[in-house]
Structure 1
Amino acid sequence: MIFSKTLIKILLISFFCFIFFSITIQAQQPKREFRGVWIATVINLDWPASGITNPASQQYALIQILDNLKSSGTNAVVFQIRTECDALYNSPFEPWSRWLTGTQGVAPSPFYDPLEFAITEAHKRGIELHAWFNPYRAERSVGNYITASNHVTKTNPEWILNFSTLKMLNPGLPQVREHVLKVITDVLKRYDVDGIHFDDYFYPYPITGTLPNGITTEDNSAFTNYSRGFTNIKDWRRDNVNILIKAVYDSISTIKPWVKLGMSPFGIWKNGVPSGIVGLDAYNVIYCDPVAWLEGKYVDYISPQLYWPFAGSQDYGKLLPWWAFQKNGRHLYVGQAAYRITDANWSANELPNQIRLNRIDNNAEGNLFFRATYGVLNNPKGFLDSLKKDFYNYKSLQPKMEWKDAVMPLFPTEVTITGNNNSIKLNWKKPQKATDGDTAKKYVIYKSTSPTFTINDPKNIYNISTTSQEEFVDLFSVPFNIEYYYTITALDKLNNESIPSQIVSYKTTSVFAEKIIAKQYHLYQNYPNPFNPKTTITFTLPKQEDVSIKIYDLLGKDILALVNEVRSAGVHTIYFDGSRL
């Protein structure tokens, strides 16, 4: 019958285009990788949408963003909670953000706490949440809206550096550093954040026409009063930033040592470094010194904003290896310009090629894309498709930070396995506390059709639990005559992984297949998928049919016929070895 032949063929065209392409690139994927995305709230860039102040609508929109990021393979979000000395959370020190409710100082109604909500929803999906603070900016566009009566520009105007269109806290004042630290430690104590994150806004950037030279003499008075022995005001400015960052790092180490501190500076450290790089730089223009932070080891990761393509005066191919060389034992999660993919001079291959370079020789432990709704989720030039199909199609654990915690948790014990005609259930016992007092925060389920599989291969990561519940149910779609092997590891708060539990297995026997009455033509999801290089394909026929199953490449070319014969009614399983192509 032509109908059955055509149906199965159509399903396989789209199905195997993905499989064929994936074979060549899977070995490059690391088991551990930070896969992050910035969610910007200032001027309603990513969330909440401009004019949407209803809490239920905001919550729904954020859930959609997180769901879509999870499906992309993202495992971390950097969520902006302080844009202009304001708060997208219930702060005792600063007013509610105008970008949340439309009026600075006005709480959501009906009330909810966006940060608490975002943390809960991110963690449900196995996504880390790093709280993103702008440390110094007070008004990004002076006069754009009315500031609240408890905004720092009104309560402490003596702390403010005034520029034509910008107001910012004066980094040279001890009172400012104390205030910023107080704001950050309040969040650290009250919220279950996974990280604290600063962006690149330290001292002001030059602004053509309004602030052509950046800062000049605006902070002379603070330098006179609080020079700390410095005679060079530029060195003093850089040290002001260093003091704050070190204070934040020390506070984290005392209050919640498992929380990570990350910085995202401008992507060029100094003009001319490395050789051939030309442009505005962090060291001499906005007075921050990321190399000093790495040398002093008071950051856990750095995300320089390498927002340029390969070649040219800001060559990604030169900047990325240079930053990798500066790491000094810390992590590099590269800030990458997903928002620029739509530029005419950016090809669809630009960011994929950057990711490939990141992964070579452990150049970087991950990447951080700017930004969520414009650059990633809007799928410019197919970039989201590339993440799902090529780069993030295996799950990934967060990188370990052994300088914070190198003690692995103990492994799960007493693993049991049971099954029926549509699921396999695993149960285990929570491990005892390790020598550092830590135990399992979540679990990794590994699955294979081979009894000799390894946990070092990310293709075997089947699930990373989002809770510490000692149970997992595997609902499968190919339940016929296959033996599945499982092992379980524990992860602690800093993603140290235990040794694996004992391997358990369960064979889905033909008895299950006999219970299935094939009432329609159906092609089941192959397993494993993605695969390298073998997979199992199951399909059902309600009656005897002439069946054709073929593999096509991305251009629609017929590559291989797996089945081209009459098959009886019932359940059929075939095996495909991609290494033969």
Structure 2
Amino acid sequence: MAYIGRRGLLAGAAGALAAVTAGGAGTARATQRPGPSRKAAAAEFRGMWIATVSNVDWPSESGLSAQEQRAELLGLLDSAVRRRLNVVILQVRPAADALWPSKLEPWSQWLTGEQGVDPGWDPLGTAVTEAHARGLELHAWFNPYRVANHTDLDLLAPGHPARRNPEWTVEYGGKLFYNPGLPEVRLFVQDAMFDAITRYAVDGVHWDDYFYPYPVEGEYFDDDGAYEEYGADFDSRGDWRRHNTDTLVREMSERLCKARPAARFGVSPFAVWRNSDKDPTGSPTRAGLGTYDDLYADTRKWVTQGWIDYVVPQAYWQIGHPTADYADIVPWWARTVAGTGVELYVGEALYRCDADSPTAAWRDPAELSRHVSLARRYPEVRGHSYFSAKQVAADPNGAMARVVADHYPTAVPPR
């Protein structure tokens, strides 16, 4: 029988439900989806991402003192409250590293400037405590396979798992990645994430759009050895790669359901699964990239199979975009999630909203407010998330303030 989703185990008898709520293993599977989870429909999702890789949002630079880092983090949480948001998605494993005292991976270089150096405090633990104190959910954002934004293993911290297991890695586009085709890699990256998930009261586990890397012209992702060993039963390398990504998602879903059933599992993919000229079930877009064919991520399948609790497609185009129109992407995703019990939140490109943007739509402070208005025509859309925290706080052209004024008249409780 096909796997029917993490929340399927909530559909049993009352005793089974109590066991799950108490943190039991929850091995039973229902025969049909029970509908949205017990945490669904509590409130509109109003989220923001805090990106830590390359100090995109936080810390503002590497090497700040623990007190300075903490103050900046709390300032971003306060910005979320001020904008009447209720969810913060904090990147805690940006590149095979950790923003908590991990038992498996080194401290992130984006804290101190040197990978493996203790920053003198626990950012994830603090973020969970302080977010909850402000009435915010804290979703822990993990990147499964990125190892480094360079290819030199010797630059990684001594004892780094990639240095101990160089055969796990692939160089591609000037960066270093773990090989998704190796079962031992899939197990390890899950274990690395669960080191945080089982120790902190995170409200959600969140992945972004990076599985197999985005294509780089003239580059070859050399997974020949793994394909030779594990790909014999597949019609093509693409099918095998998609199977590898599917397996990671499904295994993570099952493990999370057993270890932390109260935590929700979400993914924020590139918003185009496939264009309709390639697949009649695809979106009416003409984007040059799709997750199915180019990132080997069958995001539509994860929804229809119920392997995730929510999806946040990164619909980072304006209304009227010539090849990927926001007004086409949102209804496609609404149709995709309909009847699945998977909640749909739309990822919004607040980072594009700037008075100096080369695109007229993004110079208009009302563009994002129009997005929210359009999305609310579809009952399947249960909220939005804004990239990223720096712009939520600074709001260069007033687009965030316009969204708040038009659509968030009051604060809402965490979901």
- Asked whether the equivalents of residues 277 and 315 of structure 1 are also in contact (C-alpha less than 8 Å), the reply is no
Task: Supply the distance in 2 between the matched residues of 1:353 and 1:336 (Cα, whole angstroms).
Answer: 11
Instruction: Give the aligned partner of residue 572 of structure 1.
Output: none
Checking the alignment, whether the CA contact within 8 Å between 1:324 and 1:364 is kept in structure 2 is: yes
Q: Any conservation in 1 of the 2:368–2:403 contact (CA below 8 Å)?
A: no
Aligned partners of 2:315 and 2:346 also within 8 Å = yes
How far, CA to CA, are the matches of 2:69 and 2:117 in structure 1?
A: 16
- Of 154, 158, 162 in structure 1, the residue corresponding to residue 171 of structure 2 is 162
Cα distance in 1, alignment partners of residues 201 and 318 from structure 2: 36
Aligned to 1:522: none
Q: Deviations over 1:357-405 (max 9, x none)?
A: 121131411111110013x21112212322332221222245xxxxxxx
In structure 1, which of residues 204, 214, 227 is the aligned counterpart of residue 213 of structure 2?
204
Q: Is it true that 1:385 corresponds to 2:401 in the alignment?
A: yes
Contact kept, 8 Å, 1:84 with 1:137, in 2: the verdict is yes
Question: Contact 1:40–1:46 at 8 Å: present in 2 too?
Answer: yes
- For residue 250 of structure 1, give the secondary structure of its aligned residue in structure 2: helix
Identity %: 39
Deviation at 1:214, TM superposition (A): 5.6
**Residue of structure 2 equivalent to 1:240:** 244
2:106–2:116 CA contact under 8 A, matched in 1: yes
CA separation of 1:106/1:386 partners in 2, compared to 1, >3 Å: closer, same or farther? same
Deviation at 1:52, TM superposition (A): 4.1
Change (3 A) 1:145 1:67: farther
1:104 and 2:115 correspond: yes
Q: Which of the pair has more CA radius of gyration?
A: 1
Correspondences of 1:427-442 after superposition (within 5 Å): none
Residue in structure 2 matched with residue 5 of structure 1 by the alignment: none
C-alpha separation in 2, matches of 1:361 and 1:150: 50
- Judged with a 3 Å threshold, the aligned counterparts in structure 2 of structure 1 residues 144 and 369 are, in CA distance, closer, same or farther, namely farther
Task: Report the Cα distance in structure 1 between the residues aligned to 2:240 and 2:139, rounded to whole angstroms.
Answer: 29
Query: What residue identity is the alignment partner of 1:326?
Result: T
The 5 A counterparts of 1:93-132 are 93-108=104-119, 111-132=120-141
Structure 1 residue 146 displacement after superposition: 2.5
Local SS of the residue matching 1:361: coil
Residue 235 of structure 2 aligns to a residue whose secondary structure is coil
Higher relative contact order (CA 8 A, sep 6+): 2
In the alignment, is the contact (CA less than 8 A) between 1:332 and 1:365 conserved in 2?
yes
Q: What is the DSSP-based 3-state SS (H/G/I as helix, E as strand, rest coil) of the residue aligned with 2:162?
A: helix
The answer for the alignment partner of 1:315 in structure 2 is 325
Structure 2: segments with no counterpart, 5+ residues: 1-40, 277-281
Superposition deviation, residue 276 in structure 1? 4.0
Structure with greater strand percent: 1
2:238 equivalent to 1:227: no
What SS does the aligned partner of 2:187 have?
helix
- CA drift of 1:190 comes to 0.5
Contact 2:153–2:163 at 8 Å: present in 1 too?
no
Structure 2 residue 349 is matched with structure 1 residue 337: yes
Q: What letter matches 1:199 in structure 2?
A: D
- Aligned partner of 1:446 in structure 2 is none
Cα distance in 2 for residues equivalent to 1:302 and 1:99: 27
Taking structure 1 as the reference length, what is the TM-score of the superposition? Answer: 0.60
Aligned twin of 1:268: 272
8 Å CA contact retained: 2:62, 2:109: no
- Tell me how far apart the structure 1 counterparts of residues 219 and 333 of structure 2 sit (CA, whole Å): 25
Structure 1 residues 263-320: Cα deviation after superposition (integer angstroms, max 9, x where no partner): 0111111133322433211111111010110111010000111110011111000001
Please say if residues 135 and 413 of structure 2, whose CA atoms lie closer than 8 Å, have aligned partners that are also in contact.
no
**Residues 138 and 152 of structure 1 are in contact (CA less than 8 Å); yes or no, is this contact kept in structure 2?**
no
- The aligned amino acid for 2:297 is C
Please name the residue that 2:379 is paired with: 362
Give distance in 1, aligned partners of 2:230 and 2:152: 31
Q: TM-score, normalised by structure 2?
A: 0.84
User: In structure 2, how many angstroms separate the alpha carbons of the residues matched to 1:179 and 1:144?
Assistant: 18
2:100–2:125 CA contact under 8 A, matched in 1? yes
Distance 1:91 1:164, change over 3 A: same
Q: Any stretches of 5+ residues in structure 1 without a counterpart?
A: 1-29, 399-494, 496-581
Please list, as runs of the form range in 1=range in 2, the aligned pairs for 1:163-178 lying within 5 A after superposition. Answer: 163-178=172-187
Structure 1 residues 353, 194: closer, same or farther in 2, change over 3 A? same
Instruction: Give the letter for the 1:308 counterpart.
Output: W
**Is structure 2 residue 151 aligned with structure 1 residue 151?**
no
Contact (CA 8 Å) 2:365, 2:402: kept in 1 or not? Answer: no
Aligned to 2:46: 35
CA distance in 1, matches of 2:148, 2:218: 19
